[in-house]
């Protein structure tokens, strides 16, 4: 799918391809891929890297364009089972237009984030800022999910929630690597001379670097907390299971004591009080007394 926009009045407005300043191509098929490579002279390897989730963020300087591969979080779905994943998108900056390759739609008509843009370079920086914002929002969600799972682990005896915690930790590791890769790219942009940023654009780039570094620190904190607490949470699950087994053992022993008393008087051998009318009451009293004795012994030992 392809969308075209024109920069007008500091905003992006939908337009025809012939008048487009920004072309967004979402999950291109083989035909679109060949057409873009031929019409925009995009290197095939760089084209494939823009849609490769394993590719690190980087910048490519070509004769006709400057290519940027930037990392972004993938949209989370219920089928992911708490596994947060990372993707990539490509930004190809020409003299008079920008081509974007992505595997998912990007809300470029968001007036709050994509407004008051005086140039295409400002638009590109706003686009990179949107990816950093997306990472920050996902980190908040991960932290919230972690707190909810931790609450359930306190009374759980299953490994299900521990597996969810491991998935969150794995996703945070991917996020750390992606955010750090983005940080290295932003540093290269800051020292780049080919794009010729003006003072306003450099100020915006500096703000981007600060936000990305804050996002990186936040991801490091969440990852360290999750990694350090996973062992403790596993111990909680094991302890919950031990408490359950202890309770079951106490119930078993508590039932066995009166059962032994009753069984002793039900054997097919001569026993005292066999002809006594109140024998049943005496036997049940002895059973109740054995239970009381067991409970006294249980509390005295502090089990």
50-61: pLDDT as tens digits: 888 888 888 888
* CB burial of residue 210 (10 Å; 0-12, 13-18, 19+): exposed
Q: 2-240: which CATH topology? A: Beta Polymerase; domain 2 (3.30.460)
pLDDT at 180: 93
Phi, psi of 105 (to 5 degrees): -70, 150
* DSSP secondary structure of 54-118: TPPPEEEE-SS-EEEEEEEEPPP-GGGTT---EEEEEEEE-SS-EEEEESS---TT-TTTS-S--
User: Mean pLDDT, to the nearest integer, of 8-35?
Assistant: 85
pLDDT at 15: 85
Structure-model confidence comparison of residues 247 and 99, the more confident one: 99
Least confident span in 34-43, 140-149, 155-164: 155-164
pLDDT at 111: 66
Question: What are the angstrom distances between the C-alpha of 120 and each of 15, 92, 98, 246, 271?
Answer: 16, 11, 7, 68, 103
Q: Is the pTM of this model over 0.85?
A: no
Report percent pLDDT > 90 for the chain.
Answer: 15
pLDDT class of 235 with cuts at 50, 70, 90: low
Structure-model confidence comparison of residues 260 and 102, the more confident one: 102
User: Mean pLDDT, to the nearest integer, of 89-116?
Assistant: 84
Pairing verdict, β 22-26 and 98-102: parallel
- Reference 222, options 131, 150, 127, 129; nearest CA is 150
User: Mean pLDDT, to the nearest integer, of 214-223?
Assistant: 91
Residues of the chain with CATH 3.30.460.20: 2-240
Cα 243 from Cα 256, distance rounded (Å): 20
Angle between helices 160-191 and 120-153 (to 10 degrees): 160
Joined tokens for residue 13: 């407005």
Residue 268 has pLDDT above 60, yes or no: no
Average pLDDT, the chain: 81
């Amino acid at each position: 799918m392809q969308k075209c926009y024109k920069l007008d009045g500091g905003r992006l407005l939908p337009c025809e391809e012939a008048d487009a300043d920004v072309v967004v191509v979402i999950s291109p098929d083989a035909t679109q891929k060949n057409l873009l490579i031929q019409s925009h002279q995009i290197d095939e390897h760089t084209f494939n890297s823009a849609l490769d989730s394993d590719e690190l963020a980087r910048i490519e300087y070509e004769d006709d364009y400057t290519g940027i591969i930037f990392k972004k979080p993938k949209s989370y779905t219920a089928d992911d089972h708490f596994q947060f994943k990372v993707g990539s998108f490509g930004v190809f900056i020409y003299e008079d237009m920008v081509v974007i390759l992505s595997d998912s739609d990007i809300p470029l008509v968001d007036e709050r984030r994509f407004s008051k843009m005086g140039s295409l370079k400002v638009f590109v920086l706003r686009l990179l800022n949107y990816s950093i914002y997306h990472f920050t929002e996902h980190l908040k969600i991960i932290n919230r999910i972690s707190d909810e799972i931790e609450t359930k682990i306190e009374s759980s005896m299953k490994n299900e929630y521990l597996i969810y915690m491991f998935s969150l930790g794995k996703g945070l590791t991917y996020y750390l690597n992606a955010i750090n890769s983005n940080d290295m790219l932003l540093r290269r942009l800051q020292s780049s001379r080919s794009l010729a940023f003006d003072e306003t654009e450099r100020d915006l780039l500096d703000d981007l670097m600060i936000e990305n570094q804050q996002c990186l620190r936040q991801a490091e904190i969440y990852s360290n907390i999750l990694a350090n607490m996973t062992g403790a949470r596993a111990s909680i699950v094991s302890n919950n299971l031990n408490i359950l087994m202890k309770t079951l053992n106490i119930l078993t022993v508590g039932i066995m004591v009166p059962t032994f008393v009753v069984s002793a008087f039900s054997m097919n051998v001569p026993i005292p009080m066999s002809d006594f009318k109140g024998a049943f009451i005496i036997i049940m009293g002895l059973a109740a007394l054995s239970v009381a004795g067991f409970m006294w012994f249980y509390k005295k030992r502090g089990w």
